[in-house]
Amino acid sequence: INKSRVTVVGSGNWGSVAAKLIASNTLKLANFHDEVRMWVYEEVLPSGDKLSEENVKYLPGIKLGNNVVAVPDLEHAVRDANMLVFVTPHQFMEGICKRISGKIREDVEAISLIKGMEVKREGPCMISSLITEHLGVNCCVLMGANIANEIAVEKFSEATVGYKENREIAEKWVRLFNTPYFMVSAVQDVAGVELCGTLKNVVALAAGFVDGLEMGNNTKAAIMRIGLREMKAFSKLLFSSVKDSTFFESCGVADLITTCLGGRNRKCAEAFARNGGKRSFDELEAEMLQGQKLQGVSTAKEVYEVLSHRGWLELFPLFATVHEICIGSLPPTSIVEYSQS
């Protein structure tokens, strides 16, 4: 049989866990080569540890599997693979696509685990579309209530694969990721799944502000409800194909809940509000996340650009307020004053 070869592009906190999940399955599934290459953005680690055995910086204490091979050369990492899994912070993806364009196999299928988007002059561009445009490949997405450190220690969670047309490809991705502790299902709504994963990071910042201001659980729940409503309305305005049912999948309400309870965006936003907005997100990210990256602050800016460009600011008071708080035009307390709708 023609066995598939998988490469994971990215090796941060979630990237490393994704490689671990996949590598546990390629050993068991006959249609996949055992080896999983993982592109590692080269950084000087003081210890000299081998990242393929353990990612000492982004996922310390967890063995990824002997069949995960860390490859620092991006072109070398991707050139033999026919299944590419993209999982880097979203701001690096355009550069990565440009570097590998024309250097991958013709039969490549891609999947993006990346929560974020780019805003171009023509309008917003989801990361899966960026991949399709630059590389000329079909791209599914996988999103869900997936705090990486919990999955790393094999606590049960669920995830959603979004696909465009080809159910068979989606099922192949499901087989590659699914384990007894990571239950994956597929829905035909790539835009809905990806927008859920992207937009909930903006709501998580709002939830973090509420935590930092010690406003309590009712306020936080209210902010999450308003946020979910804006997520749905924004997604449907951008893509009329987005399905209501997607918001009830793991990628929707479940991811919103876990991120607003335990995510990095929430954590840094809490610290931001506690400091009355006097310390910037860049500073807090560097200090609190040790190299891991926040996606919510840039996503809030990107969403704001879309809203102002299309004249939709008044329709999305929570999204707009989060960005204005992040850039210091409004104080953190305005999260409840201006978000009501």
List residues binding ligand 13P (CB under 6 A): 115, 145-147, 201, 204, 255, 258-259, 263-265, 295
Count of residues interacting with ligand NAD (CB under 6 A): 25
88 is a site residue for ligand NAD (CB under 6 A)? yes
Dihedral angle computed from the Cα positions of residues 315, 319, 324 and 326, in that order, rounded to the nearest 10 degrees: 180
Closer Cβ to ligand 13P, 16 or 258, answer by number? 258
The token pair at 73 is: 């050369």
Q: Which residue is nearest to ligand 13P (CB)?
A: 263
Least distance from ligand NAD to the Cβ atom of residue 263, Å? 7
Residue 332 touches which of ligand NAD, ligand 13P, none (Cβ within 5-8 Å per kind): none
| Dihedral sign from CA coordinates of 258, 264, 268, 274 | positive
137 near 105, Cβ under 8 Å?
no
| Whole-angstrom distance, CA of residue 191 vs CA of residue 108 | 20
Least distance from ligand NAD to the Cβ atom of residue 83, Å? 18
Query: Which of 4, 41, 56, 262 is close enough to bind ligand NAD by CB under 6 A?
Result: 41
304 is a site residue for ligand NAD (CB under 6 A)? no
Query: Which of 178, 219, 292, 333 is close enough to bind ligand NAD by CB under 6 A?
Result: 292
* Cβ atoms within 10 Å, residue 103: 12
| Whole-angstrom distance, CA of residue 220 vs CA of residue 259 | 12
227 is a site residue for ligand NAD (CB under 6 A)? no
Least distance from ligand 13P to the Cβ atom of residue 151, Å? 9
The amino acid at residue 61 is G
Strands (E), the chain: 4-9, 32-39, 68-71, 83-86, 109-112, 117-120, 123-126, 138-143, 157-162, 182-187
Site of interaction with ligand NAD (CB under 6 A): 10-15, 41, 43, 58, 87-90, 92, 113-116, 146-148, 291-293, 295
